[in-house]
Amino acid sequence: MKIDNGTGGSRETSTGKPERVDERGRESINFFAELKRRNVYKVALAYIVGGWALSQGIAQVFPVFDVPNEAIRAIVLLIIVGFPVAVAFAWFFEITPEGIKRTEVADAANERSRGKTWIYVIVIGAIFSIGLFFLGRYTASNSASSARTETATGIPGKSIAVLPFENLSDDKSTAYFSDGITEEILNALAQIPNLKVAARRSAFQFKGSDLDLHKIGQALGVAHILEGSLQKVGDQVRINVQLVDVQSGLQAWSEKYDRKLDNVFAVEDEIAKAIAAKLRVQLTGGAGQPLVVDSTNNPQAHELYLRGLTLLAARGPGLLEARDSFQKAVKLDAGYAQAWGALAITEFLLPSYGLEPFETSLPRGEAAAQRALSLDSNTASAHIAVGLANTFRCRWPEANQAFRRALVLAPSDAEAVNQYAQFLSTVGQLEASLREIERAQQLDPLSPIIGVIHAGVLAALRRDDAAEAQIKSILVANPEFGAAHTWAATQYIDRKMYPEAEAELRSLGKLRGQNGDAKALLARGMADSAQRVAALNSLETSPDNTDIRQDAIWYAFYLISLGERGRALDELEIYAVKPNSAFAPWLWNRGFDPLRDEPRFKAVLAKLALPYRPPAVTEP
């Protein structure tokens, strides 16, 4: 065998054929040996293991804190980009007992890193990765279980109802105070995006109820319930609260607070934020942003405000007392923005209950709303009030803007969603109105007025079976709710179901302290031409039908149904100049179809700028 040891020489193999020694191969062998000598392989392996472990940890933990996916992807990309940087660092530098040195310097000083160091790094990283893997499997299993529960029940996991706090004070007349505290906590939670909060009207129907929390949760469509008690002694208040998981019945969190009355706002904020943390929802503006604003330093004004909230939620004649409470509160503290906002809403509701005419209540409500906004532009109730004022005055873009702002400030406020749905129905956007009123009903499933509005939108869309089922369910649950009888009669008249309409009108009359005959006669006049003259005379002259005559659109509807189209157009033309109706959404019902092709009716709609299409938005 012949071997040439010179550069570029040859050697003879066992087959007798010479084989060239490739110099580039020898350099390649030397390069890989150098990589090994400089620990590049170890660093690369350690980085891959550690990087994978870190990315797994980020993927498992960050979503729990609602970190955006874009941020998670950016961090993972940084880990990937860091790989060549780590490899280059291993080539040029050496970790020695004396610290980090350039490789050439370490070689000259005969200082090398301990080979076992990188083994430890790899082993620790592997253990960490395995731990994260099993953690991921566990959390994924829990998430899947939660998802299965949500799918099975149809109830979102991030949902809550706040039940009225039990009043343990010796003076039981201060029950309004515990109800008011409950209300403020509920309003605070309603500000949190992606958290479903059952509205006050629905939650407070279970005040003092012995019903099982599981059944209450099912009725309200929530996964968690906050309940508690409050004891007020002098200027001291003690609040006990507990958060209960409806599905398991287990207590998820509880706390006790002993505070002075002038520190109640801080307690409410603590409670709201503790719940947000337990339900893993992200707070708007960050954790440092208060959910409950300390808007007054006058405890007496605050108590009056809480009393007013309770009366406002109850509606009816109590609205006059609510207005009185809010007026006293702002007299004690003229800078109390929330009280001004609540006063504004109360003023706008008074005409709907026949307690004040539009002509006097509208200016007062507008002034109160503007005062609230001048004090705090983030007062959601003030924006709702502004939306109501502009709706009544047929200023559609301004109304839309106000309602949208209210929904940004309080996305889970059922009243804001409900009023926006009614606005959309008024301006002829029926499909959009249906989406909003369905959302409002999810937030406040037991609200009779929301149920009535839902039925009305369905009727306007000609979904008669669904509309009838909806209005009947409201009447069964709330047989003395006048608005339900009013809207039910309208639906039956639209469908020429006159006996059913007569029964609803008679019930409405009786609820208003009448015998019901005058209103029942209206339906009989539609069914029987022989009674039409008598029905028209009742509509136009009977004291029992004064309420109908005072509302232009309500009056026009019955005139059309009794064949008086010309006179109905007269009323609508008056309305176009001087809006004074709570039934503007009825303009899109089939009851007004006989006027659709009339030039005068088209002129009325044009003057009112109807239909109006709000600008498209992606979120509230």
Q: Average pLDDT, whole number, for the chain?
A: 82
Q: What is the pLDDT of residue 381?
A: 93
Q: What is the pLDDT of residue 620?
A: 44
Mean local confidence (pLDDT), 76-104 = 69
Asked whether residue 172 falls in the same domain as residue 281, the answer is yes
Asked whether residue 211 falls in the same domain as residue 105, the answer is no
CA-CA distances (angstroms) from residue 486 to 111, 182, 400, 559? 94, 33, 27, 16
| Whole-number Å distance between alpha carbons of 492 and 85 | 76
pLDDT exceeds cutoff 50 at 287: no
By C-alpha distance, which of 384, 358, 355 is closest to 369?
A: 384
Of 117-126, 255-264, 305-314, 521-530, the range with the highest mean pLDDT is 521-530
Q: What is the pLDDT of residues 27-48, one digit of tens each?
A: 555 666 766 666 666 677 777 7
DSSP code per residue over 230-256: EEEETTEEEEEEEEEETTT--EEEEEE
Asked whether residue 327 falls in the same domain as residue 260, the answer is no
Segments in 40-174 forming alpha helices (H): 40-61, 69-92, 103-108, 115-153
Rg for the chain, CA atoms, rounded: 36
Task: Write the burial class of residue 275 (CB in 10 Å: 0-12 exposed, 13-18 middle, 19+ buried).
Answer: buried
Tokens standing for residue 555: 């009056």
| Whole-number Å distance between alpha carbons of 548 and 546 | 5
Q: What is the pLDDT of residues 596-618, one digit of tens each?
A: 999 999 999 999 999 999 998 75
Q: What is the pLDDT of residue 353?
A: 73
The residue type found at 522 is: L
- Residue 591 maps to a domain: no
Q: Could you identify the residue written with the tokens 């891959």? A: 48
Tokens standing for residue 58: 């980020």
Asked whether residue 336 falls in the same domain as residue 360, the answer is yes
Residue 389: how many CB atoms within 10 A of its CB?
23
Determine the Cα angle at 169 with ends 338 and 236, to 5°: 65
Asked whether residue 351 falls in the same domain as residue 269, the answer is no
- Residue 303 maps to a domain: yes
- Global pTM reads 0.71
- Residue 406 maps to a domain: no
Looking at 291, 318, 345, which one is the last position of a domain? 291
Looking at 267, 291, 315, which one is the last position of a domain? 291
3-state secondary structure of 224: strand
Q: Could you identify the residue written with the tokens 């002829």? A: 428
Q: What is the pLDDT of residues 446-460, one digit of tens each?
A: 888 899 999 999 999
Burial 229-265 (b: 16+ CB within 10 A, else e): bbbbeeeebbbbbebbbbbeeeeebeeebebeeeebb
Confidence of residue 286 (pLDDT cuts 50, 70, 90): very low
Q: What is the pLDDT of residues 136-182, one digit of tens each?
A: 554 444 444 444 445 456 788 888 899 988 888 877 766 767 777 78
Asked whether residue 71 falls in the same domain as residue 58, the answer is yes
pLDDT exceeds cutoff 70 at 124: no
pLDDT exceeds cutoff 80 at 97: no
Of 129-133, 247-251, 551-555, the range with the highest mean pLDDT is 551-555
| Whole-number Å distance between alpha carbons of 99 and 246 | 58
- Give the least confident one: 141-150, 182-191, 541-550: 141-150
Mean local confidence (pLDDT), 350-375 = 89
| Whole-number Å distance between alpha carbons of 216 and 211 | 7
Asked whether residue 206 falls in the same domain as residue 116, the answer is no
Asked whether residue 191 falls in the same domain as residue 228, the answer is yes
Q: What is the pLDDT of residues 44-76, one digit of tens each?
A: 777 777 777 777 666 666 655 556 666 777 777
Q: What is the pLDDT of residue 95?
A: 61
- Residue 348 maps to a domain: yes
Mean local confidence (pLDDT), 539-566 = 95
- Residue 335 maps to a domain: yes
- Residue 483 maps to a domain: no
- Point out which residues pair with 229 in neighbouring strands: 166, 240
pLDDT exceeds cutoff 90 at 125: no
Asked whether residue 309 falls in the same domain as residue 389, the answer is yes
Q: Where are the beta strands (DSSP E) in 152-223?
A: 159-162, 166-167, 196-197
Asked whether residue 174 falls in the same domain as residue 279, the answer is yes
CA-CA distances (angstroms) from residue 26 to 4, 35, 41? 16, 14, 20
| Whole-number Å distance between alpha carbons of 555 and 595 | 15
Cα of first residue to Cα of last residue in the chain, in angstroms, is: 88
Asked whether residue 181 falls in the same domain as residue 227, the answer is yes
CATH number, position 187: 3.40.50.10610
The residues, any chain, with a CB within 8 Å of residue 359's CB and separated by 6 or more, are: none
Please tell me which residue, 184 or 569, carries the higher pLDDT value: 569
3-state secondary structure of 280: coil
| Whole-number Å distance between alpha carbons of 200 and 484 | 20
Asked whether residue 168 falls in the same domain as residue 121, the answer is no
Number of domains in the chain: 3
The residues, any chain, with a CB within 8 Å of residue 198's CB and separated by 6 or more, are: 159, 160, 161, 162, 220, 221, 222, 443, 444, 445
- Residue 61 maps to a domain: yes
Please tell me which residue, 467 or 113, carries the higher pLDDT value: 467
- Residue 411 maps to a domain: no
17 secondary structure, DSSP code: -
The residues, any chain, with a CB within 8 Å of residue 187's CB and separated by 6 or more, are: 410, 413
Q: What is the pLDDT of residues 370-410, one digit of tens each?
A: 999 999 999 999 999 999 999 999 999 999 999 999 999 98
Q: What is the pLDDT of residues 435-485, one digit of tens each?
A: 999 999 999 898 888 999 999 999 999 999 999 999 999 999 999 888 899
Residue 48: how many CB atoms within 10 A of its CB?
14
pLDDT exceeds cutoff 80 at 582: yes
3-state secondary structure of 275: helix
- Give the least confident one: 126-135, 356-365, 367-376, 573-582: 126-135
The residues, any chain, with a CB within 8 Å of residue 80's CB and separated by 6 or more, are: 51
Alpha-carbon torsion (85, 89, 91, 95), positive or negative: negative
CATH number, position 363: 1.25.40.10
Q: What is the pLDDT of residue 51?
A: 74
Please tell me which residue, 272 or 215, carries the higher pLDDT value: 215
Domain containing residue 118:
24-136
Most distant CA atoms of the chain, gap in Å: 132
Confidence of residue 7 (pLDDT cuts 50, 70, 90): very low
- Point out which residues pair with 167 in neighbouring strands: 230
Looking at 248, 264, 291, which one is the last position of a domain? 291
